Protein backbone atom coordinates (compact mmCIF):
# COMPACT_ATOMS: atom_id res chain seq x y z
CA UNK A 1 0.00 0.00 0.00
CA UNK A 2 1.25 3.51 -0.67
CA UNK A 3 2.97 4.98 2.38
CA UNK A 4 3.56 1.64 4.07
CA UNK A 5 7.27 1.45 3.29
CA UNK A 6 9.51 4.33 2.27
CA UNK A 7 13.10 4.05 1.16
CA UNK A 8 15.54 6.84 2.00
CA UNK A 9 18.89 7.03 0.29
CA UNK A 10 21.71 9.54 0.12
CA UNK A 11 24.00 9.02 -2.83
CA UNK A 12 27.34 10.85 -3.12
CA UNK A 13 28.32 11.56 -6.72
CA UNK A 14 29.64 14.24 -9.07
CA UNK A 15 26.09 15.19 -10.03
CA UNK A 16 26.99 18.43 -11.82
CA UNK A 17 29.58 16.99 -14.21
CA UNK A 18 32.52 18.71 -12.56
CA UNK A 19 34.87 17.99 -9.64
CA UNK A 20 32.33 18.83 -6.90
CA UNK A 21 30.76 16.01 -4.91
CA UNK A 22 27.21 16.31 -3.59
CA UNK A 23 24.72 13.95 -1.98
CA UNK A 24 21.34 13.35 -3.60
CA UNK A 25 18.75 12.61 -0.89
CA UNK A 26 15.83 10.60 -2.28
CA UNK A 27 12.69 9.34 -0.54
CA UNK A 28 10.76 6.81 -2.61
CA UNK A 29 7.56 4.85 -1.96
CA UNK A 30 8.07 1.09 -2.16
CA UNK A 31 4.54 0.28 -3.33
CA UNK A 32 4.51 2.61 -6.32
CA UNK A 33 8.20 3.44 -6.99
CA UNK A 34 7.16 7.09 -6.83
CA UNK A 35 9.78 9.58 -5.77
CA UNK A 36 8.25 11.72 -3.02
CA UNK A 37 11.35 13.83 -2.48
CA UNK A 38 14.74 14.49 -4.09
CA UNK A 39 17.21 17.17 -3.09
CA UNK A 40 20.85 17.75 -3.91
CA UNK A 41 22.78 18.74 -0.77
CA UNK A 42 26.39 19.43 0.06
CA UNK A 43 26.41 16.65 2.64
CA UNK A 44 23.81 14.16 3.87
CA UNK A 45 23.08 14.95 7.51
CA UNK A 46 20.39 14.83 10.15
CA UNK A 47 19.20 18.24 8.99
CA UNK A 48 18.99 17.32 5.30
CA UNK A 49 17.20 14.01 5.92
CA UNK A 50 14.78 15.62 8.41
CA UNK A 51 13.99 18.32 5.82
CA UNK A 52 13.07 15.60 3.33
CA UNK A 53 10.93 13.72 5.82
CA UNK A 54 9.19 16.94 6.83
CA UNK A 55 8.32 17.70 3.22
CA UNK A 56 6.99 14.18 2.68
CA UNK A 57 4.82 14.41 5.81
CA UNK A 58 3.53 17.87 4.88
CA UNK A 59 2.73 16.74 1.35
CA UNK A 60 1.55 13.15 1.80
CA UNK A 61 0.53 12.93 5.46
CA UNK A 62 2.11 11.32 8.47
CA UNK A 63 4.11 8.52 7.09
CA UNK A 64 4.54 4.88 7.15
CA UNK A 65 4.93 1.77 9.09
CA UNK A 66 8.43 0.94 7.92
CA UNK A 67 11.35 2.83 6.50
CA UNK A 68 14.62 1.57 5.02
CA UNK A 69 17.92 3.29 4.51
CA UNK A 70 20.94 1.88 2.77
CA UNK A 71 23.35 0.96 5.55
CA UNK A 72 20.94 2.30 8.18
CA UNK A 73 23.22 5.01 9.56
CA UNK A 74 20.38 7.51 9.13
CA UNK A 75 18.41 5.69 11.86
CA UNK A 76 21.00 3.91 14.02
CA UNK A 77 24.32 4.93 15.53
CA UNK A 78 27.59 3.36 14.46
CA UNK A 79 30.65 3.13 16.68
CA UNK A 80 32.94 3.88 13.74
CA UNK A 81 32.23 4.93 10.17
CA UNK A 82 31.82 1.90 7.93
CA UNK A 83 30.99 -0.47 10.78
CA UNK A 84 27.61 -2.11 11.32
CA UNK A 85 24.92 -0.02 12.94
CA UNK A 86 23.87 -0.57 16.55
CA UNK A 87 20.15 -1.25 16.21
CA UNK A 88 19.66 -0.53 19.91
CA UNK A 89 20.84 3.10 19.62
CA UNK A 90 18.73 5.45 17.51
CA UNK A 91 20.00 8.62 15.85
CA UNK A 92 18.05 11.88 15.97
CA UNK A 93 16.25 10.85 12.77
CA UNK A 94 15.44 7.42 14.20
CA UNK A 95 14.10 8.96 17.42
CA UNK A 96 12.04 11.51 15.48
CA UNK A 97 10.44 8.77 13.38
CA UNK A 98 9.62 6.83 16.54
CA UNK A 99 8.37 9.83 18.55
CA UNK A 100 6.14 11.26 15.81
CA UNK A 101 4.34 7.95 15.49
CA UNK A 102 5.57 7.40 11.96
CA UNK A 103 7.16 4.13 12.95
CA UNK A 104 8.81 2.40 15.85
CA UNK A 105 12.39 1.20 16.03
CA UNK A 106 11.27 -2.20 14.71
CA UNK A 107 10.03 -0.45 11.58
CA UNK A 108 13.41 1.08 10.74
CA UNK A 109 15.52 -1.13 8.53
CA UNK A 110 19.19 -0.89 7.77
CA UNK A 111 19.69 -3.46 5.04
CA UNK A 112 17.96 -5.89 2.71
CA UNK A 113 15.40 -4.13 0.51
CA UNK A 114 16.93 -0.77 1.32
CA UNK A 115 20.34 -1.77 0.01
CA UNK A 116 18.83 -3.19 -3.19
CA UNK A 117 16.75 -0.05 -3.61
CA UNK A 118 19.75 2.20 -3.00
CA UNK A 119 21.88 0.40 -5.56
CA UNK A 120 19.13 0.44 -8.19
CA UNK A 121 18.31 4.09 -7.63
CA UNK A 122 21.96 5.12 -7.67
CA UNK A 123 22.53 3.24 -10.92
CA UNK A 124 19.47 4.83 -12.50
CA UNK A 125 20.08 8.32 -11.18
CA UNK A 126 23.82 8.35 -11.83
CA UNK A 127 23.21 7.16 -15.35
CA UNK A 128 20.49 9.65 -16.29
CA UNK A 129 20.36 12.51 -13.81
CA UNK A 130 23.87 13.97 -14.34
CA UNK A 131 23.33 13.87 -18.11
CA UNK A 132 19.93 15.56 -17.76
CA UNK A 133 21.51 18.27 -15.60
CA UNK A 134 24.32 18.75 -18.14
CA UNK A 135 21.93 18.93 -21.10
CA UNK A 136 19.85 21.52 -19.23
CA UNK A 137 23.02 23.60 -18.73
CA UNK A 138 22.79 23.36 -14.95
CA UNK A 139 25.97 23.93 -12.97
CA UNK A 140 24.75 25.07 -9.54
CA UNK A 141 23.05 23.34 -6.65
CA UNK A 142 20.06 25.74 -6.49
CA UNK A 143 19.43 25.32 -10.23
CA UNK A 144 19.77 21.55 -9.90
CA UNK A 145 17.21 21.38 -7.10
CA UNK A 146 14.76 23.53 -9.05
CA UNK A 147 15.23 21.16 -12.02
CA UNK A 148 14.70 18.10 -9.80
CA UNK A 149 11.46 19.50 -8.38
CA UNK A 150 10.02 21.06 -11.51
CA UNK A 151 11.00 18.48 -14.12
CA UNK A 152 13.05 15.41 -13.20
CA UNK A 153 10.83 13.94 -10.44
CA UNK A 154 7.71 14.34 -12.59
CA UNK A 155 9.38 12.67 -15.56
CA UNK A 156 10.83 9.88 -13.38
CA UNK A 157 7.44 9.20 -11.79
CA UNK A 158 5.63 9.20 -15.13
CA UNK A 159 8.07 6.57 -16.45
CA UNK A 160 8.56 4.37 -13.37
CA UNK A 161 5.55 4.78 -11.06
CA UNK A 162 3.47 1.62 -10.90
CA UNK A 163 0.03 0.98 -9.41
CA UNK A 164 0.15 -0.22 -5.83
CA UNK A 165 -1.01 -3.76 -5.15
CA UNK A 166 -3.49 -2.32 -2.64
CA UNK A 167 -4.93 1.15 -3.06
CA UNK A 168 -5.66 2.19 0.52
CA UNK A 169 -2.98 4.56 1.74
CA UNK A 170 -1.25 3.54 4.92
CA UNK A 171 -0.65 7.09 6.11
CA UNK A 172 -1.65 7.72 9.71
CA UNK A 173 -2.87 11.27 9.18
CA UNK A 174 -3.63 13.98 6.70
CA UNK A 175 -0.91 16.19 5.24
CA UNK A 176 0.21 18.68 7.83
CA UNK A 177 0.55 21.58 5.40
CA UNK A 178 3.14 24.28 5.70
CA UNK A 179 3.18 26.39 8.83
Highest mean pLDDT pick, 26-35, 66-75, 129-138, 145-154: 145-154
Q: What is the pLDDT of residue 44?
A: 85
Q: What is the pLDDT of residue 21?
A: 94
Q: Please give the distance of CA 129 from its chain centroid, rounded to a whole number.
A: 15
Cα-based angle 29, 165, 111 (whole degrees, multiple of 5): 45
Residue 109 φ then ψ, to 5°: -115, 145
Q: How much is the average pLDDT of 35-41?
A: 92
Pairwise CA distance, residues 88 & 67, whole Å = 16
Domains of the chain: 5-160 (3.30.420.10)
Q: How much is the average pLDDT of 55-69?
A: 69
Q: What is the pLDDT of residue 114?
A: 47
Q: Provide the sign of the torsion angle of the four alpha carbons 162, 155, 111, 119, taken in this order.
A: positive
Mean residue pLDDT of the chain comes to 75
Q: What is the pLDDT of residue 20?
A: 93
| Interval 124-172: pLDDT, tens | 566 678 888 889 999 999 999 999 999 999 998 998 888 888 776 555 4
Provide, rounded to the nearest whole percent, the portion of the chain with pLDDT above 70: 62
| Interval 47-58: pLDDT, tens | 888 898 889 888
* CA-based end-to-end distance of the chain: 28
75's CB contacts (< 8 A; 6+ apart) are 67, 69, 85, 90, 91, 93, 94, 97, 105, 108, 110
Q: Provide the sign of the torsion angle of the four alpha carbons 92, 49, 117, 166, taken in this order.
A: positive
Q: What is the pLDDT of residue 179?
A: 44
Amino acid sequence: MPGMLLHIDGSKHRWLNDDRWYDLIVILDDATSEIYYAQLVEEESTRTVMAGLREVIETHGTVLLRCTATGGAIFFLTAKEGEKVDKHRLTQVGRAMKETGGTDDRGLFAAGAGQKFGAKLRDLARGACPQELRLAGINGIAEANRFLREQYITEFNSKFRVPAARKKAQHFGEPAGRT
